[in-house]
Amino acid sequence: MKILVVGGAGYIGSHVVRELLDTGNNITVFDNFSSGSKTNLFSESNFIKGDILNYSDISKAAAGYNAIIHLAAFKAAGESMIAPEKYSVNNITGTINILNAALENGIKNIVFSSSAAVYGEPEYTPVDEKHPVNPKNYYGFTKLEIERIMTWYDKLKGLRYASLRYFNAAGYDINGRIMSLEKNPANLIPIVMETAAGKRKELQIFGGDYDTPDGTCIRDYIHVNDLAVGHRLALDYIIKQDKSITVNLGSETGLSVLEIIETARKITGKKINANIVKRREGDPATLVSSAKKALEILEWKSTYSDASTLITTSWNVYRRQK
């Protein structure tokens, strides 16, 4: 299949591209390198440098493809509360450009990177797709807005979409084929890795008094190779079934901040200094997925998302960095 992967030079995008190349697809990456990097491109794929905010870039690039996978977005929830304008433009306007370019070019299938952030503070866990959506940060709101627009485009224009609600994406390619670090990572595992590598003196644990067994927040970490397989299966599904879907991609397993740090200490053999500080605003105590729907309709479930694989594959990349 001929697939345009928008944001394919990024952290998750490059893993998705690798999976699609490994399964025999013809891939073109479209990226502006704002957070992606050249070193994430593979020789077997084509590349177009362009910006989703420039409609003519994306409408020209989209000619001749069967499907688009769209992963180009800003994703720092905290930043989105300080700079919502930036998130409106890139995540909403940019995606509308992609959707319109798809329709203009007769492309009816799109896979969209959504987020568990659409749910907001969980009313119950595990969180399934029927859980009310009520984002707590502007980033999650941008993802939900796009889901709503896609629902209309499905009805009005026959666009078939797979909206994939990722939980906490983490880890690196299990075969070590993707080695570029994310630029300015803000997530827990990269920060733990930078501390282990000596790039940071210590890390801060945001809150030790949550209502969880060890007092630190529990998250559902999903390995990027698992996410990548989910994209491939979701695209097959919407094409074969001619039907749009919204599905969680999570591991259904909760790991606390302390469990991540402890696993990292064991695997890296480094001390990893960590201090408990006050809670970070907007953090739910526990966020764990139900991934039953993905199992039922896509026959997808996570296989690489245990703490040890997440940390080992991350350390494999971070230990090389100075």
To the nearest whole angstrom, how small is the minimum distance from the Cβ of residue 93 to ligand UFG?
19
| Residue list 161-200, contact with ligand UFG (CB under 6 A) | 167-168, 186-188, 191
- Asked if residue 190 has a cis previous peptide bond (ω within 30° of 0), the answer is no
Identity of the amino acid at 121: E
Candidate list 79, 145, 182, 283; residue touching ligand UFG; CB under 6 A: 283
**Cα separation, 42 vs 29, whole angstroms:** 9
Q: Judged by CB under 6 A, does residue 288 bind ligand UFG?
A: no
| Residue list 29-88, contact with ligand UFG (CB under 6 A) | 75, 77
By beta-carbon proximity to ligand UFG, the closer residue of 154 and 283 is: 283
- Do residues 159 and 110 lie in contact, with contact meaning Cβ atoms separated by under 8 Å? yes
| Residue list 136-155, contact with ligand UFG (CB under 6 A) | none
The upper half-sphere exposure of residue 205, i.e. CA atoms within 13 Å in the direction of its Cβ, equals 22
- Cα–Cα distances (Å) from 269 to 117, 255, 315, in that order, read 33, 20, 11
Q: Judged by CB under 6 A, does residue 219 bind ligand UFG?
A: yes
Q: Judged by CB under 6 A, does residue 204 bind ligand UFG?
A: yes
Question: Which are the contacts of 124, defined by CB distance < 8 A and separation ≥ 6?
Answer: 131
Q: Residue 74: helix, strand or coil by DSSP?
A: coil
As a whole number of Å, the CA-based R_g of the chain is 19
Q: How many residues bind ligand UFG (CB under 6 A)?
A: 21
By beta-carbon proximity to ligand UFG, the closer residue of 73 and 159 is: 73
To the nearest whole angstrom, how small is the minimum distance from the Cβ of residue 255 to ligand UFG?
9
- Do residues 139 and 87 lie in contact, with contact meaning Cβ atoms separated by under 8 Å? yes
Give catalytic residue positions.
Answer: 139
List residues near ligand UFG by CB under 6 A: 75, 77, 115-117, 167-168, 186-188, 191, 203-206, 217, 219, 257, 280, 283, 287
